[in-house]
Structure 1
């Protein structure tokens, strides 16, 4: 039972400016995603599947200005004031989400080695143009933060359909995802595949390399 990259999370101040930035950086525009009512966020998506990273996409996410404030901290640290200040300049790679066929088993595996990935939450969102919502289970921390600065993936298990099933093909493909600071035992527990571990001290926690119409492009986290 492996955990593999499902999607990369790119936070932005607002979706319109974030989409323009992404189109300029990667040479492709993300398409409409949807709203996450329980988190007060919304997103746009870009397919980045490749032979080595099947059913993988890039999620551009922002606080939804038209949604009420959620009852809990928003995911991916979006409520963090320092992050929001940085997003005024440009979007930022903040997390990677790992797809699991047995999400609670992998969650408990991380707990047994002393990590606290969070609790399992079932949720869904509407899909534009479809009567069938996307449904999934996701492991979320109560404080909304990522674990070890984003090195540990946010674990997800889809219930039925997957976003890539409805996404148009794009000219962008994920070639490589490198993660710094992921404990070896965590990688073993999750039986990670499709991810390279790096322990170079000054390297960012996350580094994603894409093949794009304008050449190789690397997106990195702030730390």
Structure 2
């Protein structure tokens, strides 16, 4: 089964503040606002190439404070997010989400269906909002429509590499073994605090986001 990095997620407490920070850092302009009614979140996207040259994207996401908070935890642990915008998650595209769910850790979550405009997808969302290994395990997505990446203007961003830090790197590597085809240019290292950083190639040079 072939898996690939679909996109990276930058979380923020406020969408426009998050986009302002990323636009200043990367010298790009994000696309228009989108919303996820089921999760009471809003986002903006910018196109980004994967290391193999195929399309991906970078997402800034935040709680949508204009709508009621859902009765269950929001995805990407946004209910507990605080501080400045930062890279919090990565998302892997799957051709068969049921099979991916079987291969993933037991606490990865439940399969949910979403639609926004022309886009339709299914995604595994954790019951607690927190993905396995302190959010270092990827969210898993299956697109039922065209993906956003090819529809976005291309500002010349390229994902060079993704570094994931975790206190139990060997256990994380074992959990990711079935998804090895998505691991090109992904490095897992030991560290006291879980987290991730990404090296992004831009027209102005290489930028690290964390």
TM-score (norm 1): 0.85
Please point out which of 86, 89, 95 is paired with 1:92.
Answer: 86
Per-residue deviation at 1:196?
2.0
Q: Deviations over 1:119-143 (max 9, x none)?
A: 11111112xxxxxx21001001111
Task: Report the count of equivalent residues.
Answer: 205
- Corresponding residue of 2:130: 145
Per-residue deviation at 1:51?
4.7
- Corresponding residue of 2:175: 186
- Structure 1 runs of 4+ with >3 Å offset: none
Q: Is the 8 A contact 1:180 1:204 kept in 2?
A: yes
Please point out which of 201, 206, 212 is paired with 2:196.
Answer: 206
- Corresponding residue of 1:20: 20
3-state SS of the aligned residue for 2:181? Answer: coil
Q: Distance in 1 between matches of 2:24 and 2:205?
A: 12
Which ranges of structure 1 fall in alignment gaps of 5 or more residues?
127-132
Per-residue deviation at 1:68?
1.7
Q: Is the 8 A contact 2:121 2:141 kept in 1?
A: yes
Which ranges of structure 2 fall in alignment gaps of 5 or more residues?
none
Q: Deviations over 1:51-107 (max 9, x none)?
A: 525221000001112122112111000001xx22x1xxx211111011111121011
- Corresponding residue of 1:108: 102
CA RMSD of aligned residues (A): 1.8
Which structure features the higher share of strand residues?
Answer: 2
TM-score (norm 2): 0.90
